[in-house]
Amino acid sequence: MTRLADLELLLRTADLGSLTAAARALDWSPAAASAAVKRLEAQWGVAVFVRTTRSLRLSAEGERLLPHLRQALQCIGEAQAEVAAQRSTLRGGLQVAMPSDLGRNVLLPWLEAFQQRHPELALRVHLSDRNTDLMRAPIDAAIRYGTPADASLVALPLAPDSARVLVASPAYVAAHGAPETLAQLCQHEALRFMLNGEVPRCWRFCIDGQWHEAPVSGRHSANDGEVVKRWALAGLGIAYKSRLDVAAELDSGRLLHLRPDWGGEPSPLYMVVPGRRQLTPAARALRECLLQQLAPLQPAATPRRHAPGRS
């Protein structure tokens, strides 16, 4: 197998008329340079150079070979440049799964801007609050709350310090008040999010450094996070949502953060891929985009609180 480095050395030697000068220019030792020329001559069965004690010049065979070698190296260089350009220009497709509420109302505008910057990339979005089986479904990356239970998956942090917050509309608070204690929370209409068909019977909070469970009940439950938020905006009860989902509504005053002194359960956001090989340039670029957009929504640096038995 002919080495490209050997060809480069040969051409540099022909240009400089000196094997020693060529070796010096390419940071080779004289012995390694001499061995490379001998290796090529042995492979081709011709003497490329005519050597004397004082000079070195191309042989007749070398003169005929030289233009072809230059053309070959130029073609290889152009091919390498094209590959590098393709790597910098994202092409192909990227299928991304994400939660319904966060996807529609937070991530979707960012994804549209991302695709405008990469017009040759086909982005396919799958919205669902069920965790897609990445080993079976045709999904390249999933945006998920919580650390995956499957250790074979690769989870890359997007918003590792995100947590849940207790929210309600101003109209609801005006009509029913805000809970002052966990016992009072039990008396309010809880707007509950179902995961895997299960309706939560309690919400957990960190109060004065200790985790407590508060039983909750209500007539409203849904397996779609956006539906739960819409109910809260409509004043139908109190919701316990990731702050990322309701950041815009809290900033605008459409929702109120109840009991900010109660620390919410962690809800870290990750980009999850089936394995390191699936972390393609497109997936990496998307993650960098999301990290930049999510950074302003992150809470101020505080000691992280972990719920018992939760990640």
- In this structure, the answer to whether residues 260 and 169 fall within a common structural domain is yes
Question: How much is the average pLDDT of 227-236?
Answer: 96
The model's pLDDT over 66-86, given as tens digits with 9 standing for 90+, comes to 899 888 888 887 777 666 555
Q: Give a yes or no: residue 233 inside a domain.
A: yes
Pair (151, 292) in one structural domain: yes
In terms of domains, do 176 and 236 share one? yes
Give the chain's mean pLDDT: 87
Tokens of 73: 């190296």
For the stretch 97-120, pLDDT in tens is 999 899 999 999 999 999 998 988
- The answer as to whether 83 is a domain residue is yes
pLDDT band at 311 (very low <50, low <70, confident <90, very high): very low
Assess if residue 307 is contained within a domain: no
Q: Is residue 106 part of a domain?
A: yes
The first and second tokens of residue 148, run together, are 């995956």
pLDDT at position 62: 87
What span, in angstroms and rounded, lies between the C-alpha atoms of 164 and 203?
Answer: 10
- CATH number for the domain that contains residue 204: 3.40.190.10
pLDDT tens string 134-179:
767 788 899 999 887 777 788 899 998 899 999 999 999 999 999 9
Residue 181 within a domain: yes
| CATH code at position 30 | 1.10.10.10
Q: Verify that 143 and 281 share a domain, yes or no.
A: yes
Q: Which pLDDT band holds residue 96 (cuts at 50, 70, 90)?
A: very high
In a domain, 101, yes or no: yes
185 shares its domain with 37: no
- Are 13 and 78 contained in the same domain? yes
Same domain for 142 and 256, yes or no, is no
Domain boundary among 41, 72, 88: 88
> Which among 239, 248, 282 has a CA at the least distance from the CA of 95?
282
Same domain for 186 and 214: yes
Q: Are residues 273 and 141 in the same domain?
A: yes
Q: Which domain holds residue 110?
A: 92-162+268-297
Q: How many domains does the chain divide into?
A: 3
Residues 150, 276 within the same domain: yes
Q: Which residues contact 47 (CB under 8 A, 6 or more apart)?
A: 41, 59, 61, 62
